[in-house]
């Protein structure tokens, strides 16, 4: 991984999200652990890879493709998190913290996509 990716806001926020989720894993009821919680963790860790690929990519059009894939993976992650919330898989206070972090990540990915799309239009 390029050192630069680790300094981006989106990367840091997703890393923090994964750390929080790992810390909560022991509290997840067994009936939710395999089919929902592990998929949620997988989606979050996949998101880290997509952010790194996008950051490392020099071609702006290819970078945009990676960012779009990251946004798609984020949508999947967000859906899994909603299922966790609706089924009360985690304590309410922890759900709130995760939701705030998810909102932050959403804003960062959206801004990054917008800025990259503008660069692609200009041909930079």
> Is 64 within 8 Å of 113 (Cβ atoms)?
yes
pLDDT of the residue at 123 = 81
Residues 6 or more apart whose CB falls under 8 angstroms from that of 77 comprise 40, 43, 44, 47, 102
Helix (H) or strand (E) holding 41: helix 38-56
Measured CA to CA, the distance from residue 40 to residue 18 in angstroms comes to: 10
Measured CA to CA, the distance from residue 77 to residue 33 in angstroms comes to: 15
Residues in the chain: 124
Q: What is the pLDDT of residues 41-92, one digit of tens each?
A: 999 999 999 999 999 999 999 999 999 999 999 999 999 999 999 999 998 8
Q: Does domain 5-122 have CATH number 1.20.1440.60?
A: yes
| pTM (global) more than 0.85 | yes
pLDDT of the residue at 8 = 79
Q: Supply the mean pLDDT for the chain.
A: 92
Q: What is the pLDDT of residues 25-35, one digit of tens each?
A: 999 999 999 99
Q: How far apart are the first and last CA of the chain?
A: 24
Sequence spans of domains, the chain? 5-122
- Residue 4: pLDDT band (50, 70, 90) is low
Q: What is the pLDDT of residues 87-117, one digit of tens each?
A: 999 988 899 999 999 999 999 999 999 999 9
Phi and psi, residue 108, nearest 5°: -65, -45
Residues 6 or more apart whose CB falls under 8 angstroms from that of 4 comprise 55
């Amino acid at each position: 991984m390029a050192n630069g990716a680790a300094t981006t806001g989106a990367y840091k926020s997703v890393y923090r999200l994964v750390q929080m989720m790992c810390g909560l894993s022991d509290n997840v009821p067994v009936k939710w652990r395999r089919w929902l919680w592990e998929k949620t963790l997988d989606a979050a860790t996949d998101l880290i890879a997509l952010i790194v690929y996008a950051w490392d990519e020099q071609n702006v059009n290819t970078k945009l493709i990676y960012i779009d894939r990251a946004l798609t993976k984020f949508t999947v992650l967000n859906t899994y998190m909603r299922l966790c919330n609706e089924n009360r898989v985690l304590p309410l206070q922890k759900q709130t913290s995760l939701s705030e972090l998810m909102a932050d990540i959403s804003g960062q990915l959206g801004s990054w996509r917008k800025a990259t799309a503008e660069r692609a239009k200009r041909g930079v």
